[in-house]
Amino acid sequence: MPAKMGRKFQASPLFVRLAVLALVIRFCDAGGIAIYWGQNGLEGTLNQTCDTGRYSYVNIAFLNKFGNGQTPEINLAGHCNPATNGCTIAGSEIKHCQELGIKVMLSIGGGVGNYSIASRKDAKRVAYYLWSNFLGGHSSSRPLGDAILDGIDFDIELGSTQHWENLARYLLGYSKRGRRKVYLTAAPQCPFPDRFLGTALNTGLFDYVWVQFYNNPPCQYSSGNTTNLINSWNQWTTSIEAAKIFMGLPAAPDAAGSGYIPPEVLTSEILPVIERSPKYGGVMLWSKFYDDETGYSSSIKPSV
């Protein structure tokens, strides 16, 4: 006697929609990797950076001279010379990255430079400059060509501690005016609250915050001890009103003075813990040059 043929399963339209929705939610909840690019001419082009498929966010570093009446200057190390309009070639590469779904921000500040915001009025002037030259505004002297960047990253590590919250508010005002959202991101040091950006972060205006959990022994990984790092992460994620918070790390031992975490330690001991936070966004790495040296992002991406 022949065996009965099983009835062929046919998914209902509702089942299919729910399954797709579950995949979308899972994808949206997945973490991403942010990378800083621009401070070493040997780290490859923006096109090459984005074509790796490893990064969801790229911070172009740095606009490191601005504010207090100064003529702003961008420094992209060995990549191009902005004084001769040599960096406008980056415009097509920024667009290429964006076409791949990667958000590209201009990072202002950095560990070396001459920048500050002297007053609320100065913050308004700097915001207008950023909008006109890098975002959705218009200027005859756009340093990175006609590409419209996704937002501004605040990596404020020196100068005045005042008026960064005013700059954030003015930039957000342009977001409401334009056809595209202006993303605000920040890279504070892990001691809480951050000396320079604490007041600005308390505004709740920032979309992504990649905290630098390195060069600060009291709140970083050291010698197999994850306690200080996890405690600091918990403080940041429960105290800051940001859409997503990222763990900022050096991509190589020589990328920072301290705080390097071996990738196997990160993926086995740290990520499973910090991913429980609803504000978990992923990992930020300094920088593309060092990531090329070690392959760090490739090692951790499946777990991020």
**CATH number of the domain at 32-301, out of 3.40.50.11140, 1.10.3720.10, 1.20.1250.20, 3.20.20.80?**
3.20.20.80
**Confidence band of 6 (pLDDT split at 50, 70, 90):** very low
Residue 291 CB contacts under 8 Å (≥ 6 apart), including other chains = 35, 54, 251, 252, 285, 297
- The pLDDT of residue 185 is above 80: yes
* Token couple for 297: 């992002």
pLDDT, position 19: 43
Give dist(CA 254, CA 4) in Å, integer: 67
Average pLDDT over residues 88-111: 98
Residues 6+ apart with CB under 8 A from 135: 148, 149, 151, 152, 174, 178, 182
Q: Which of 197, 179, 284, 297 is nearest to 240 (CA)?
A: 197
* pLDDT at residue 178, rounded to an integer: 67
Phi, then psi, of 27 in degrees rounded to 5: -65, -45
Contact 64, 58 (CB under 8 A): no
CB-count exposure of residue 193 (10 Å: 0-12, 13-18, 19+):
middle
Query: What are the CA-CA distances from residue 259 to residues 18, 66, 219 (Å)?
Result: 42, 30, 9
Which H helix or E strand runs over 273?
A: helix 271-274
User: What is the per-residue pLDDT for 278?
Assistant: 97
Q: Among candidates 159, 237, 242, which has minimal Cα distance to 208?
A: 242
User: What is the average pLDDT across 165-170?
Assistant: 98
Of the candidates 79, 86, 95, 85, the residue with the CA atom closest to the CA atom of residue 141? 85
pLDDT recorded at residue 179:
78
99 catalytic per annotation: no
Q: Which of 13-17, 91-95, 272-276 has the lowest mean pLDDT?
A: 13-17
Q: Using CB atoms within 10 A of its CB, is residue 52 exposed (0-12), middle (13-18) or buried (19+)?
A: middle
CA angle (182 as vertex; 128, 130 as ends), nearest 5: 25
d(CA 216, CA 227): 14
Q: How far apart are CA 207 and CA 183, in angstroms?
A: 6
Residue 18 pLDDT level (bands cut at 50, 70, 90):
very low
* Torsion over CA: 295, 296, 302, 304 (sign): negative
The stretch 195-215 carries a mean pLDDT of 98
- pLDDT at residue number 10: 54
Candidates 43, 157, 165, 241; catalytic one: 157
| Cβ-contact 185, 210 below 8 angstroms | yes
pLDDT, one tens digit per residue, over 22-68 is: 433 444 457 999 999 999 999 999 999 999 999 999 999 999 999 99
End-to-end CA distance of the chain: 54
pLDDT tens-digit map of 239-279: 999 999 999 999 999 999 999 999 999 999 999 999 999 99
Residue 11 pLDDT > 60: no
> Which sequence spans correspond to the domains of the chain?
32-301
Phi, psi of 104 (to 5 degrees): -120, 120
- pTM listed for this prediction: 0.90
